[in-house]
Amino acid sequence: MFSKSTLLHLRIPFSYFLLPVFLFAASISPNLGDSKLLWVFVILHFFLYPASNGYNSYFDKDEGSIGGLKNPPPVDKGLYWMSLLLDAIAIILGLLKVSLVFSGMLLIYGLVSKAYSHPWIRLKKYPLTGLLVTGLFQGAFTIMMCYVGINDFGISNILQPKVLAAAVITAIMLWANYPMTQVYQHEEDEKHGDKTFSRMLGINGTFYFAGAFFGLAAIGFILFFKNYYDIKYGWIFLLALSPVVVFFSFWFSRVLKDPKQANFNYTMLLNFISATCLIAFFIYFFVDFSSAFN
């Protein structure tokens, strides 16, 4: 269960790409406490996400590159049990260290994650369903789950317009990113019979879709900061994400000349640049806005 293969398939470093969702929730939280903040961070990034990665890898049994792992080793049954163990630890820690509501939301996330990969349901093989589920749960639901956990709030608190708006634009951002994570996997997905959203769109269509939804997300963030904070944060957000636009445009120009450029290395580099820019922005936003009240 603790083999090197299992550890690699948990893809713990891949959690870095999902860190902006947690930071966005933290940056709009009014009731921050060091203990809850730390526990929510640890539970998500070191237990919940790796559990989801491992479970997905076990049932996919990919031979080609997957997110965060260029040359995946063969999987074994230990990976399956480890993913379930990490899920259970996440839920128990969520109950003991954060709240019952947060723990319940972790359970829901884990069940949806399993439905995404398990061959009996395998939401992944349905292009539109896979897209919707990923955006709603890795994006909107996770924002609300973090908000509840960090602030020690009940469910009713996530129904505030500000929180719902943050959830919606996070989902849109994930919908922009989701097809890009599949753009280099068309052959592997075809072997598994998975008609993913990116396969449905084609390589060029994936880039056009991602660009359009990234634009929608950018507009959403500008309106969000204008309505709930200060419009200056919207313009700084655009500036912070400009490296993503530059790299995306450069990469697409290469793909138009040679479709083989839609590969693992460029995908991971786009993810890294995007995550790093978002992390930097949300840290800046949190520090700058908080200092205005000190």
Q: Which comes out higher in pLDDT, residue 223 or 73?
A: 223
pLDDT tens for each residue of 230-243:
999 999 999 999 99
- Residue of 272, 166, 294, 154 lying closest to 223 (CA atoms): 166
pLDDT of residue 7: 87
Pull the structure tokens for residue 106: 């972790």
Strand partners, 66: 69
Condensed to tens digits (0 to 9), the pLDDT of residues 65-108 reads: 666 677 788 888 999 999 999 999 999 999 999 999 999 999 99
**Residues 173-193: pLDDT tens digits?**
999 999 998 898 887 777 767
Q: What is the DSSP letter of 46?
A: I
H runs (alpha helix) in the chain: 4-10, 19-27, 34-43, 49-60, 77-93, 100-117, 127-134, 142-151, 161-177, 186-192, 197-228, 231-240, 242-257, 264-291
291 vs 251, higher pLDDT: 251
pTM above 0.85, yes or no: yes
Q: What is the pLDDT of residues 247-272, one digit of tens each?
A: 999 999 999 999 999 999 999 999 99
Give pLDDT tens digits for 46-69: 999 999 999 988 888 766 666 667
Please give the residue that has the higher pLDDT: either 274 or 3: 274
State the pLDDT at residue 75.
86
Instruction: Tell me what pLDDT residue 125 has.
Output: 82
**The domain spanning residue 244 has which CATH number?**
1.10.600
- Predicted local confidence at residue 47, as pLDDT: 97
- Tell me what pLDDT residue 68 has: 66
Each residue's pLDDT tens digit, 98-114: 999 999 999 999 999 99
pLDDT of residue 126: 87
Instruction: For residue 66, give its domain range.
Output: 4-291
User: What is the per-residue pLDDT across 115-158, written as a single tens digit (0 to 9) for each?
Assistant: 988 888 888 888 899 899 999 999 999 999 999 999 999 999 99
* pLDDT at residue 293 is higher than 60: no
User: What is the per-residue pLDDT for 193?
Assistant: 72
| 122 or 169: which leads in pLDDT | 169
Measuring CA to CA, which residue among 72, 37, 32 is closest to residue 56? Answer: 72
Domain count, the chain: 1
**The pLDDT value given to residue 291:** 67
| pLDDT tens-digit map of 202-219 | 999 999 999 999 999 999
Task: Indicate whether 169 pLDDT > 60.
Answer: yes
In angstroms, the Cα distances linking 129 to 62, 132, 275 are 21, 5, 24
Distance CA 167, CA 145 (A): 10
pLDDT of residue 158: 92
